[in-house]
Chains A and B, each alone.
Chain A
Amino acid sequence: MEPPPQIVVDGVRKVYETPSGPVEAVARASFTIRRREFVSILGPSGCGKSTLLMMIAGLDPASEGSITVDGAPVTGPRPEFGLVFQDATLLPWKSALENVLFPIRMMRREVAPARERAMRLLDFVGLGGFEGKKPHQLSGGMRQRVAICRALVHDPELLLMDEPFSALDAITRDEMNVALMDIWDAYHKTGVFITHSIREAVFLSDRVLVMAKRPSTVVADVTIPFPRPRDMSIQEDPEFNRICGELRARIEEGYARAGEARGPRRSLKAFA
């Protein structure tokens, strides 16, 4: 028997009131995410992905509809969520270890017991020996690894990631995908991952939600059948490429529906 889903997003709409009139950031979103499932949200920029993630995190209230996590409606921020952003947003004056421990301090928990976990996390992502380094002494990929450790240090139920690898170069990005995959297999969290890379979404996820712009809705929900643990080699699998092609087609449909005067080649490029 299926356990009940952990996250239920039901008819959520978000309208921002701006000086130049209301902006509909999310028109209507409904989906569920099971415990320990890794779900990517794929869509063009400005389609409301970040807004949706912030609403799930309880950092921004929905205008309509409801979001529940573990059966309880999300009404405000909850520390049992781990957040990772596009920029590592580390404190520049703190060492890698101190940055990882930051949530523990902010949650006013005892630091000493968490230190060991923080060191283990840093070790796990290949940053053993770098715990004393400050962010400016680390590469972009290393900084983002620290940010991922920071998101996991307080053992959250849920990891919410908003384009965490978008600012990295392609090679580092591949490395980070593998690192995240390893973390996933080791730590078993529920994950919501925002990206506009189709291959990244397919490689990492159990399911991919495709969002369209104007109106901003979820237009497709595609299950990725590859078993775990996965490695880079699945990217050569014909099935992998078939799924990528299907997702690309769904995104194109989204554009077509929005009636955007946009050639398929340009939008394809945006999702290379």
Chain B
Amino acid sequence: MPVRRRQKDLNFWEKIYIPEIAKGLALTFKTMFKPKFTMEYPEEKFIPPPSYRGRPVLVQEENGEERCVACGLCSRVCPALAIEVQAGETDREKERYPERFEINMLRCIFCGFCEEVCPEEAIVMSKDYELAFTNREDAIYGKDELLVPVKNLNERINFLRQYK
């Protein structure tokens, strides 16, 4: 075994420890009166930056319709198999719309692949991190829970346009 040498030889005062201990104590004492970093959560909420990946949501246009064209790419790419899309036909310009769109929030791992693959910018990650359910059925979010008006999602969409 190679002989390990000290990087730095301690001088006499450092060797008797007591001044060094006093220095350490002074530091912790000072720290006690510094401002705290804790956020008192339910009262004081953390507002994440736009790069944050909260729960995935569907973009709802101003006219109240979803942007999604039910291409099924997000469902295909989802590594956790969390998304289920059922397409239906419509007379509107986009021709297809999702009859049913479900994300199982117990499966979702917040990877953001769905958002990355979507050709229509129709599914994006929101800032919502408060996800709690009392049973498994509640954890499957349908269209009514997923649709979020586009004006609430502009920050994330701009972030995606800039950095994606």
Same complex: no
Instruction: Show the binding face of A for B, using Cβ within 8 Å.
Output: none
Instruction: Show the binding face of B for A, using Cβ within 8 Å.
Output: none
